[in-house]
Each structure stands twice: as structure tokens, then as C-alpha cells.
Structure 1
Amino acid sequence: MKKILHKASDRGHANHGWLDSYHSFSFASFYDPEKMNFGLLRVLNDDTVAPGMGFGEHGHDNMEIVSIPLSGELEHKDSTGRNEVIHTHDVQIMSAGSGIRHSEFNHSREKEVKFLQIWVFPKKRDIEPLYEQKTFHPASRINKLLTVVSPDGNAGSVAINQDAWFSLGNFDPGKQVEYKIQKSGNGAYLFILNGEAEVEGNVLSARDAIGVWDTDKIKVTTNTYTELLIIDVPMELN
């Protein structure tokens, strides 16, 4: 087993007033040659956007972009004419493919929106851009892991153009969790949203993360009530 620990305090940070953003990997003005990616996971940004503010129209191509609101609502518009509101407990995926332009704004003029934006390199390039979002109620992941993103969209998850799986779980204190990596050659990046857990001999607190590969499973023991995200991705681009 190989592993890498990313402490929350070591993340990149940029506060633009309207946007307060923490970067688990090199992004914008934050550059760390040791934090360019974890396998095909390229970006994990932990963003807080002020009421009524957001990202103006900009373009992406050949990237799988997953947005997970943690609180509040995020308004999405794109060049296909789509205009959606992504709510807390929703998961949105946008396969940028051959190219798409979009904007993201805090839908509320009174409350902040907090969300994760995650980028994964695609399996197939230059596909027609795709968009999907679904709601995953917290009750469906109490003391268990719920797959919310998968390559084929099975069991109600949203589909991603990569051999990648995202799972969310909310666990009571003292729970032992074993996560089996979905595909040979994949690794798993475990991100603690809230709480504290021991993962393969490392104690992780809120917003800490650990990447594990060259193994087929990860063992987690929760010390407190813990909410976690596991991102299971190929370690190399085929």
C-alpha cells in the first residue's frame, strides 16, 4: 500500500472577498509541484461564495467537473441553454467534452453557498458535452457509503466519463468502515468533510485528506460523528 497525507492546513488558499477558496491541488495562483493531482483527480476546491456573487461565464473542455453543494444553492447556466439551481444534497456533473461555456452564481442574495468543485480527467476526449444532477438525501447514507457518481450511473448515481466512483457517507462515532477500491489500477482519495477518523493509521480531522493506492481496500474508524467523501480514480491515464 502507498499513501499520501494532505492536511487541511497545507491547502492553497485564496480569499477574493466574494470567493473564499481552499485548493487541495495546485490551482490558479497556488502551485505546489507535489500537489498537481492524485491519479486522474486534478482539482478539489472547497469554495465559499458570498450572496449574489459567483463565477462569470468561462469555458472548459475535456474535463469531468463535479459540483457538490454543502450548504446553500448554486445557480448554473451554460452555453447549451441550460439554467439550473443545484441544491444542498445535490450532486452535479458536467462533462465539458469538446467544449462548453458556463457560469456559476450563488442563487441566494442573503446566504453564502459552500460547495466542492472537483475535476477529473476524462476517459474519452471531445465527446458531446453532457450534464446531469440528482439529489441524494443524507438519510440514504447514514452509517454507510452511498455511491453518487459512477461510470455507468448505476443505482441512481450520476454518470461520469471516466472509470471513477464518488461515495458519500455519514457515520456515528466508533464505526468501522471498509471501502473496496472499485477497479484494479485505481486509488482512493478520502476527504473528511466533518468530524475525525483514523484511516490506515492516520488520524484525520475536518478537511484533511489521504490518498491510498497499490491496495484493494481502505479501512476507516470514526472517532466522532464523521462525514466523508471518497473519490476512486485511475492512477494513470490509459
Structure 2
Amino acid sequence: MITIRQAQDRGHANHSWLDTYHTFSFANYYDPQQMGFRSLRVINEDRISPGAGFGKHGHRDMEIITYVLAGALEHKDSIGNGSVIYPGDVQRMSAGTGIMHSEFNHSQSEPAHFLQIWLLPDTQGEPPSYAQQNFGLAKEPGKLRLVAARDGREGALSIKQDADLSAAVLEKGDRISYTLKPQRHAWVQVARGAITLNELPLNTSDGAAISQETDVVIEARENSEILLFDLA
């Protein structure tokens, strides 16, 4: 069973400095039918104006992943990390017992465009932690790369949840297949471009929940970038 969440059906808020779309309920957008999928709680597509950003604020007991699509995002936090996140980078912040952080557009002239993803952790009350890595997805188009997993295998970032996050940059005509184990579920998010998912068309910013399926086949109808969540 595949349920498509079309881009135009998402929640939306424009704060002048921040233009944001919410796949699931978030902030002032509330839909009791859209509270997340399995342990996946948030997918926000954010565009931040040059020089603007989220001032220092706190989180706890949440796995937060930032995936930059364009521009650059400057990160600072209360456990001593400071970095700039570029396309190809994946940032993981485990909020644990509590972390304060800020995220600002690193550029004074270009907007920053990124996905912010929250996963519910399967353990709580642990010390906060941070990691960031560049996976060079654009250098290997057509290949699905594991970027986050509970066991951190294959060089992926480690997360505190039974979930695998893979990503791929696809050129038109590229075709990738993925096999779901029994009792597993998946969410596919189209970051940009247009694909077919088991022959169903998905466009930029569309998502799809997958349950009771074994084979996941993605084909790029144009140059695209996708995320695939394998969830318990």
C-alpha cells in the first residue's frame, strides 16, 4: 500500500525571513491525520533569507537531521559545536537531555534551502550529541547511499532509532530498487525533481508512505534527489 502526500497539501507558513512547508503537523499547522509516520515525526522544507535564521532555542529527546539542498547553513550549539552545512552534508543532532542551538543562513546574499527532519528516539534521557558528514551524493548519481542508521554501519551517522535513512541524486532515467524486510515500512521524500515510485508519479516535495510492500522501485523522470526512510 502506497499513500501519497502531495506537496500542495502540506502546511505552510511564511514569516518573511522563513518560508516553510510542513509535511506533518508542526507549530501552528495541526492536522490530526498528519502527525507523522511511524517514528518519523517532522519533515519541514525551509527556505531562509540571506543573513536570517533561527536564534538560540532548545530541544530534548529528539533525533534531528538537517539535509541542505542549496546554500549554506551555519550551526552553533550549547555543547561546543560550530559548523557550516553545505549541500551534500548531513547533520545529526541528538537532543537527548537537552540542547540549545541556532541555525542561520551563512550567506548574506543567497537563500538557504534545506529539509529539517525529526525522528522520535527509542531511548530518552541520554547526553546530547552532534555529528556532521559529507556523503558526496552528487559524485555518484544513481546510487542509494545510507546516511543515517542506528548502528552507524557503512559510514552512516548513528541515530537513536530503528530507522535507516538513505539518499540519492538521480539523473533522468536512473532506476534504483530497494527491498523492505517483513514488517518494515518506508517513506520516500522527493527533495527535487520528478520520479515514479512503483510506477506512481511523484513530483518535487511530494512524499509517500509505504506499508505492506516488499519491493520499492524508483525511476527518475528528470534529474532528481530523493530520501528513503526504512522504518520499524
What is residue 226 of structure 1 aligned with on the other side? 224
In the TM superposition, 1:4-153 aligns within 5 A as 4-153=3-152
Letter in 1 for 2:55: G
Whether the aligned pair in 1 keeps the contact of 2:37 and 2:209 (CA below 8 Å) is yes
Whether the aligned pair in 2 keeps the contact of 1:140 and 1:146 (CA below 8 Å) is no
Distance across 1 between alignment mates of 2:169 and 2:187: 17
Distance across 1 between alignment mates of 2:56 and 2:182: 38
Matched, 1:186 2:178: no
After the TM superposition, list the runs of 4 or more consecutive aligned residues in structure 1 that deviate by more than 6 angstroms: none
Distance across 1 between alignment mates of 2:96 and 2:148: 17
Whether the aligned pair in 2 keeps the contact of 1:97 and 1:128 (CA below 8 Å) is yes
Return 124-133 or 140-149, whichever deviates more.
140-149
When normalised by structure 1's length, the TM-score is 0.93
The offset of 1:180, in angstroms, is: 1.8
Distance across 1 between alignment mates of 2:87 and 2:168: 15
Fraction of identical pairs, as percent: 42
Whether the aligned pair in 2 keeps the contact of 1:90 and 1:133 (CA below 8 Å) is yes
The offset of 1:184, in angstroms, is: 4.2
Structure 1, unaligned stretches of length 5 or more?
A: none
Matched, 1:163 2:159: no
The offset of 1:76, in angstroms, is: 1.0
Deviations 1:182-210 (Å, cap 9, x if unpaired)?
x5433111011222222124211111111
How many residues align? The count is 232
The offset of 1:155, in angstroms, is: 1.6
Distance across 2 between alignment mates of 1:87 and 1:198: 27
Distance across 2 between alignment mates of 1:150 and 1:8: 26
Whether the aligned pair in 2 keeps the contact of 1:141 and 1:168 (CA below 8 Å) is no
Instruction: Indicate the SS of the match to 2:222.
Output: coil
Instruction: Indicate the SS of the match to 2:8.
Output: helix
Distance across 1 between alignment mates of 2:230 and 2:49: 31
Deviations 1:48-106 (Å, cap 9, x if unpaired)?
00111111111111100000111111111111122121122100000101111111111
Whether the aligned pair in 2 keeps the contact of 1:45 and 1:118 (CA below 8 Å) is yes
What is residue 206 of structure 1 aligned with on the other side? 204
Distance across 1 between alignment mates of 2:99 and 2:78: 6
Whether the aligned pair in 2 keeps the contact of 1:164 and 1:231 (CA below 8 Å) is yes
Structure 2, unaligned stretches of length 5 or more?
A: none
Whether the aligned pair in 1 keeps the contact of 2:194 and 2:223 (CA below 8 Å) is yes
The offset of 1:10, in angstroms, is: 0.6
What is residue 3 of structure 1 aligned with on the other side? 2
